[in-house]
Amino acid sequence: MYRFDALIFDVDGTLAETERDGHRVAFNTAFAEAGLDWEWSPGLYGELLAVSGGKERIRRFVADRGPGIRVPEDFDGFVAELHRRKNVHYAALLRSGAVQLRPGILRLLRQARAAGKRLAIATTTTAENVETLLECSEESGLVGWFEVIAAGDMVEAKKPAPEIYLLALAKLGLPAAACIAVEDSDNGVRAALGAGLRALLVTVSSYTRGQDFSGAAAVVDGLGAAGNGCKVIAGGLQADGQVNLAVLDAMHQRVYGGGSA
Ligand code: XBP
Ligand code: MG
């Protein structure tokens, strides 16, 4: 009944607010464990998020600190190990319940599944991190709902490059016009648009408020949940407090004017 075939979701900031109380805290724990005196405050972390990808973020931080900073000779190995330990701490945080799915996510996923829509993920983080996040939700077996998980180092260039979305589309075997993408950041918007995904909804997250989402079909402050309705920021959606499949279908129609190819 709806004229699109699949929903493709970003993860960090979109499925859940993972950054401040998840990845950031885990990075700091890994730094302390490695004997480094690095501390990423919530504010500094917001600036560092301009670089997507945890390993890439560490590299940028080191580069920005200039020649004064002492790093081991095997810099690649050092970054890889720090990042591996960060993800061990991140998984523990997820299992402790430090991060929840955003309001309305499960509602929309359940509706999509009931309507036979295909679900995919296109993320900068690792597949393991995605799986742990989904496994920690109240919906058991949620990870199995996603037919495609395009993640992390499966591609050479991370967002804002379009590669991860192109990979998700290739794995789905669908043209961009048959899909709706949901993102939370400017880097994500550029990646999705670069892959031709014009039916693109932005659900702004705590770190991305105020970013430039030009080109997105619509911008909301969330998907909305009972007693916690969403606000439409741009794009004129008739969401009436909650983004559901009918709202997304209307957005898709507006972008493609009736055809889906
Ligand atoms: C999210 C990211 C990720 C996470 C950490 O971007 O940039 O780097 O901060 O993930 P997006 P890793 O939401 O656009 O995918 O440390 O596992 O890379
Ligand atoms: Mg994101």
Is residue 164 predicted with pLDDT exceeding 90?
yes
Angle between helical axes of 186-194 and 163-172 (0-180°, round to 10)? 50
Model pTM? 0.95
Please, are residues 165 and 181 in contact by the beta-carbon 8 Å criterion? yes
CA distances from 111 to 23, 169, 197 (A): 29, 21, 21
**What number is the average pLDDT over the span 16-30?**
98
118-123 and 6-9 strand pairing: parallel
Contact at 8 Å (CB) between 234 and 214? Answer: no
Residue with tokens 């983004």: 243
pLDDT of residue 258: 59
- Indicate if the pLDDT at residue 260 is higher than 90: no
Q: Model confidence over 128-155: pLDDT tens digits? A: 999 999 999 999 999 999 999 999 999 9
Rg (CA), the chain: 18
Predicted local distance difference test score (pLDDT) of residue 115: 97
Cβ(203) to ligand 1 under 6 A? no
Ligand 1 atom index nearest CA of 83: 16
Q: Is the pLDDT of residue 1 over 90?
A: no
Give me the pLDDT at residue 261, please.
47
Kindly report, residue by residue over 176-231, the tens digit of the pLDDT.
999 999 999 999 999 999 999 999 999 999 999 999 999 999 999 999 998 889 99
Q: How high is the pLDDT of residue 71?
A: 80
Ligand 1 centroid to Cα of residue 176, in Å, is: 23
Q: Which atom of ligand 1 is nearest to the CA of 57?
A: 8
Residue closest via CA to ligand 1's atom 13 equals 12
Minimum CA distance residue for ligand 1 atom 14: 188
Alpha helices by DSSP H, listed for the chain, are 24-33, 42-48, 54-65, 75-95, 105-114, 127-135, 163-172, 186-194, 245-256
